[in-house]
Amino acid sequence: MSRKTDFLIIGSGIAGLSLALKIADLGKVTIITKKRAEDANTTLAQGGIACVLAEDDSFDLHIADTLRVGDGLAREDTVSLVVCQAPDRIKELLDLGVPFTRDPKDPSKLHLTLEGGHSRRRIVHVEDHTGREVEQVLLSHAREHPNIEILENHLAVDLITLCKVYRGCPREVLGHERCLGAYVLNEETNEIETFLARVTVLATGGAGKVYLYTSNADVASGDGMALAYRAGCRVANLEFVQFHPTCLYHPKAKNFLISEALRGEGAILLDPFGKPFMHKYDPQRKELAPRDIVARAIDFELKKTGKECVYLDISHKPKDFIIKRFPYIYETCLKFGIDITREPIPVVPAAHYFCGGIITDRYGLTDIKGLYALGECTCTGFHGANRLASNSLLEGLAFAHQASIHLKKEWPLYQRFEPPAVPDWDPGGAVDMEEKVLISHNWDAIRRLMWNYVGIVRTEQRLRLAQKRLNSILEEIEAHYWAYILTADFIELRNLAHVAKLVIECALRRKESRGTHFMVEYPQKNDALFRKDTVLWRARES
């Protein structure tokens, strides 16, 4: 089955939905999302969106904070581009109906909170469930727009490019590579359909599920990164995986994040014996140190004591304040028998955010014509080696806006392009996979391997062991890819394995410690050799 559209957007988080709303008047927009539309990391974002609004704040301060946390790899021009448009992007969300929390002292202003790495209060939020509200508002508007179609339970298998259509033709003959759309698994019919588009956009989010413990939604299996890399795009800086310091530690809590905003409002980290410890690792900033420092401090305390969690205590604050400021966290913890107004919260670090991804320019353009990428699946130069808290939703909004500017300008050219005839998906002699344990076993093996060998603190020996074991798993996956009829679980497993491979390769190349990447053998930064991106390209790596 073949479908045609003007814009094919893969992903339904803040970046994909924002872009869809901005370009829908140009032509037909088709959004595909592999589960429900709201099943995105955006929905889980608690903290808020960084934006300069306070009188004692400035763009220069926000830029400086972002560059400092980015640890030498954030690009000042990109940081300035994003930071300076934040007020306009927040105004757009307000106009759409996002109910940002107001300042109780002056309801004409938005309430601003503080998070680690920030020198001023500049986080706008909707209580402690910002992402959920933003996602619902954007989805509501997208569903009402006559030019936007949202297809749930549709999972991209691979991008369709000219090189794939004209097999055997080198890029030099074609003049350039171009994206024509994607092969997509319709999970309701179990058929792989052909989606052709003048413009294709990857807005698939991160890859937290590559690790055993993560704050991410179940959909975060690195699909966009894997799709782009296999198609021939460059990826960069995938060694920089940010581990959120505080996820709820409870056997029945799957991936519940305890927002950094608690520490911004005065919560204290306690070791397993109830004593504060952050003063030993960052005497000045303590709990408000950047996430990489806090996560490594917790990791060290756990390894030193042999315990399974540390604690985050905000119970010294007034009960009414806690319940009003953090209603979602309060209610969720209470379901697990934890009253955060009276006792500390058991927490552990978990994989949270990928600072690297598909290389794009300031308009979201990738190496392949007609293919854009937005949000967490990208490497724009905004985050560098470590992301400043609450800059992620901002990046999605900003680059959706940037892409819309470019698409509106170039639309007359795109509109004249007609994709060539593309063959339907050919399963060949593939048969149903009867032993589903082949998928579940490798899924678990990869995530445990990454957590134990490629986690918060790394060694070269462990990385090489992980690479060797992963290569063996990848050989098995690729053999199964051609032998069996594809399922959603298997497609995700393949993507997960490819992203894991890229993370390990990037980590092995960076023989220093910078940002979220910490190597035991190389504990210092080496600006002379490594103050640059770690770039991988399937066709020619450099």
Residue 485: pLDDT band with limits 50, 70, 90:
confident
Helix (H, G, I), strand (E, B) or coil at 175: coil
Query: Tell me, what's the pLDDT at 303?
Result: 86
Q: Which residue has the higher pLDDT, 139 or 252?
A: 139
E strand spans, 102-227: 102-103, 106-110, 112-113, 123-124, 148-152, 154-161, 179-186, 191-202
Q: Is the dihedral of CA 74, 8, 185, 142 positive or negative?
A: positive
* 538 catalytically annotated: no
Domains of the chain: 2-239+355-416 (3.50.50.60), 241-352 (3.90.700.10)
- 83-142 pLDDT, tens digit per residue, is 999 999 999 999 999 999 999 999 999 999 998 899 999 999 999 899 999 999 999 999
Asked if pLDDT for residue 542 goes beyond 70, the answer is no
Residue 435: pLDDT band with limits 50, 70, 90:
low
Query: Tell me, what's the pLDDT at 539?
Result: 55
| pLDDT over 70 percentage in the chain | 97
- Active-site residue among 198, 234, 291, 387? 291
Helix (H, G, I), strand (E, B) or coil at 10: strand
Average pLDDT over the chain, rounded to an integer: 93
Q: Which residue has the higher pLDDT, 175 or 528?
A: 528
Farthest-apart Cα atoms in the chain, separation: 69
Query: Tell me, what's the pLDDT at 541?
Result: 39
Task: Please give the average per-residue pLDDT across 442-446, as a whole number.
Answer: 94
Query: Tell me, what's the pLDDT at 381?
Result: 97
Residue 320: pLDDT band with limits 50, 70, 90:
very high
Task: Please give the average per-residue pLDDT across 20-35, as a whole number.
Answer: 97
CA 108 – CA 94 distance, rounded (Å): 13
Cα–Cα separations (whole angstroms), residue 42 to 19, 102, 189, 474: 15, 21, 28, 30
Supply the Cα-derived Rg of the chain in whole angstroms. 23
